[in-house]
Homo-oligomer: A and B are copies of this chain.
Amino acid sequence: MKGSRVPATIRDVARESGVHISTVSRTFSAPHLVNPETRSRVLACAEHLGYRPNRAARALITGRTHNIGLIVADIANPFFPPLIKAAESQARQRDYHIFVTDTNEDASVEEGLVRALAKQVDGVLLCSPRMSNSLIEQLSREVPLVVVNRQLTGLPTVVMDVAQGARLAIDHLSRLGHRQIALVAGPRGSWTSREIRRSALSAARANDADLAVIGPNQPTEDGGMAVAEQIVRAGVSAVLAYNDLMAIGLIEGLSTLGLSVPEDISVVGIDDIALSRLTRPKLTTVATPTAAAGRAAVDMLLAHGDDRRTTAQITLQTELVIRDSTGPGPGPHSHADPGGVVATAPGEVASYAKE
């Protein structure tokens, strides 16, 4: 019944349906082992008593908590909620629950969080880790891990093909006539940021364009706004930002400096968060399949729970979404006046920190 103060146990159900508790247990965890007739009687009694198996007791004996830990860099970054949502619903379908935890973009708290989670979950989804590869590998020996947004041999991973995305973005800008391009890098420790950088540099070379790398930076609006001045001094006509949030912040920062997008400078973001369709100008960006990543990560963790040592690596495709924040540059196929652009000042360009 609904309002029963003390929850019914397996014993109550057994008594009421006249069978042994083990039969009740099997009715739920191995239905094929019990006589259909008995089973339906047990189910009726269970329903009637409002019985729900006690997960703690079950966890104690099976060793599986049916919980999954999900660690993200910053839950307030709109990149993550769709991923979390997808993971959550995928997990719920398989009778799992998800603990979401947030590291505040601080690499040093990641390790502690994984360890704290380790004992009370069946596995951890590590999204956009900032810690070192070796530490991740070490932690993976203490708890099953699926790493999202980082390529790592020997561990199950799911990554977005941001290299492809960055290439598409640079190609797009080149085609528009931009030859002096800046890359606003992401946070230190981000694999994604390294990938973007690597791919953007090679794409720029292929297109005969100069690419100035600026960063590392905080991957937030404020982080984007903060580099506006550097961008102007770098004298570029186009920018690829580590993510949409930074791109949006940058556009705002540029406007404060009296520059408008895309007339004076073109800006491309990455992620295609919902917001990028709503800013003015609407953001040209690289769409990443975040929800798919969330689902895939859960699936990998749960599949991999049985046999172990199956370390699949999934790469999800990205695509360029052209909106209003990119326009013709000063290069060929466009009039030659670079506008407010001054000479490139390589001294201003911070080198990207390795690892």
Contact = CB atoms under 8 A, between A and B. Distances in A.
Given A75-B81, A85-B76, A138-B2, A221 B119 contact: no
B280 A255 contact: yes
Given A274-B221, A275-B275, A280-B255, A101 B82 contact: no
A167 to B, nearest CB: 28
Chain A interface: which size bin?
35 or more
Given A76-B78, A78-B78, A52 B119 contact: yes
A119 B50 CA distance: 11
A274 B120 CA distance: 33
A279 interface: yes
Interface string A83-115: 011001000100001111110000000000000
A353 interface: no
Interface string A114-156: 0011111000000000000000001001100000000000000
A100 B88 contact: yes
A60 B138 CA distance: 31
Contacts of A102: 84-85, 88
Contacts of A119: 7, 52, 54-55
Q: Give the copy number.
A: 2
A52 B119 CA distance: 7
B81 A221 contact: no
A199 B7 CA distance: 43
A44 interface: no
A278 B75 contact: no
A208 to B, nearest CB: 35
A342 to B, nearest CB: 26
Q: Which 7 A-B pairs have the closest CB atoms?
A: A56-B59, A76-B81, A56-B60, A75-B81, A56-B56, A100-B100, A52-B119
Given A88-B101, A279-B279, 19 more contacts: A2-B142, A3-B141, A7-B119, A54-B60, A55-B119, A55-B120, A56-B120, A60-B60, A75-B81, A75-B85, A76-B78, A78-B78, A81-B81, A84-B102, A88-B102, A98-B100, A249-B278, A255-B280, A279-B280
24 contacts: A2-B138, A2-B142, A7-B119, A52-B119, A55-B56, A56-B120, A57-B60, A60-B60, A75-B75, A75-B84, A76-B78, A78-B78, A84-B102, A88-B102, A92-B101, A92-B116, A99-B99, A100-B100, A221-B274, A249-B278, A252-B278, A252-B280, A275-B275, A279-B280
